[in-house]
Amino acid sequence: MIIIVVLAAGCKDHNKSARRIAVAIAGDVVLYHDQIPALIIPGAAPADSSALAQDYINKWARKELMFQKAVENLSPELKEEIDRQLEDTRSDLTIYQYQRQMMLEKMDTIISDGEMENYYLSNSQSFVLEYNIVKALFVKVPFETPGLSRIRSLVRSDEQKDLQELESICYQFAERFDDFGEKWVPLDRILFELPYDISNKDSFIRRTSPYETTDSIDVYFVKIRDYKLKSTPAPFEYVSEDIKRIIWNSRRLEFIHNLENGIYNNAIEENRFKIYNN
């Protein structure tokens, strides 16, 4: 049976030094007002806030009563298994938090470019591309855009001033303008934007002149500045973040291993760990 003792959902604060206000009791467990989350919605009517609090209390009671019934009826064997699992979880969580604290305080987290490059050179066979990547320019403009021939000319140019002019024009008229600059991106990311499928991707990626196509509404331009083919070594800059994660994870595992060994060896030296020969 649930007994509602007092409902103070409209109160925003209460004196922390005052005695706790009981709100409900389920079985032999009491729910206090300070245990209920802040459920007051700004501008809401008191009745709405009260209804939210009542709903929370009902859900709490259902869960608490179910828990008490389970405790009463579970077999001793299952209770022991739950206690064992809880202890294992507590142990694992405590160890994890301690390791994390020690890592934050003492582990070297700075990974230099030189260290990353050395790792890449020593493990380049591990970084083979699974798909084609490109450095490219992509433009999509409406078919009726004024100065379309000028846009076409600017797309072909490699001059920085022409790229700036193209960007300015596209800012006014283009539906899409992606200049990835020196950043490598998957070829499929660009091909996805085109209105028609490209049947021969290897030929497409090797083209020296900008690609242009149209549909009934828009004109599409793609200029491939550089490319790396599938099954070839990935460029360092494309996998640098992966390398950083690999080095960091390796350093983390080594730190945890050394931390564990240090604690273990100190316990032996200080005679806090013994194996009894029975």
Q: Are residues 36 and 48 in the same domain?
A: yes
Q: Which tokens in the block code for residue 158?
A: 């490699």
Looking at the structure, do residues 212 and 186 belong to the same domain, yes or no?
yes
Q: What is the 3-state secondary structure (H, E, C) of the chain?
A: CEEECCCCCCCCCCCCCCCCCEEEEECCEEEEHHHCCCCCCCCCCHHHHHHHHHHHHHHHHHHHHHHHHHHHHCCHHHHHHHHHHHHHHHHHHHHHHHHHHHHHHHCCCCCCHHHHHHHHHHCHHHCECCCCEEEEEEEEEECCCCCHHHHHHHHHCCCHHHHHHHHHHHHHHCCEEEECCCCCEEHHHHHCCCCCCCCCHHHHHHCCCCEEEECCCEEEEEEEEEEECCCCECCHHHHHHHHHHHHHHHHHHHHHHHHHHHHHHHHHHCCCCCCCCC
Statement to judge: residues 139 and 219 lie in one domain: yes
Residues 192 and 56: their CA atoms lie apart, in Å, by: 48
Query: Which of 15-19, 69-73, 130-134, 211-215 is predicted with the least confidence, judged by mean pLDDT?
Result: 15-19
Whether residues 87 and 219 share a domain: the answer is no
150 and 223 co-located in one domain: yes
pLDDT higher than 80, residue 93: yes
**Are 169 and 147 in contact, with CB atoms under 8 Å apart?**
yes
Specify whether the CB–CB gap between 64 and 27 falls below 8 A: yes
* 241 plus 124 within the same structural domain: yes
* Total domains present in the chain: 4
Give 101-130 pLDDT, tens digit per residue. Answer: 999 999 998 999 999 999 999 998 999 999
Supply the pLDDT for residue 259: 97
Least confident of 42-46, 50-54, 99-103: 42-46
Residue 225 φ then ψ, to 5°: -90, -35
Answer yes or no: pTM beyond 0.85: no
HSE-CB of 91 using CA atoms within 13 angstroms? 6
Residues 6+ apart with CB under 8 A from 3: 24, 25
Write out pLDDT tens, residues 143-190: 989 889 999 999 999 899 999 999 999 999 999 998 876 789 999 999
Shared-domain flag, residues 124 and 246: yes
Same domain? 11 vs 86: no
| Same domain? 200 vs 135 | yes
| CATH number of 137's domain | 3.10.50
pLDDT of residue 20: 85
Residues 250 and 117 in one domain: yes
**Amino acid type, 39:** L
Q: Which pLDDT belongs to residue 85?
A: 97
Residues 48 and 155: their CA atoms lie apart, in Å, by 61
Q: Do 80 and 216 lie in a common domain? A: no
Q: What is the pLDDT of residues 208-255, one digit of tens each?
A: 889 999 998 999 999 999 999 999 999 999 999 999 999 999 999 999
Q: What is the pLDDT of residue 42?
A: 57
Instruction: Examine the pLDDT at 13 and tell me if it is beyond 80.
Output: no
**Rounded Cα distance, 234 and 240, in Å:** 10
Say which residue, 47 or 9, is predicted with more confidence.
47
**Given a cut of 70, is residue 192 above it in pLDDT?**
yes
Whole-angstrom Cα distance, residue 266 to residue 273? Answer: 9
Tell me the residue range of the domain where 80 lies. Answer: 75-102
Residues 202 and 270 in one domain: no
Confidence of residue 44 (pLDDT cuts 50, 70, 90): low
Q: Is the per-residue pLDDT at 47 higher than 90?
A: no
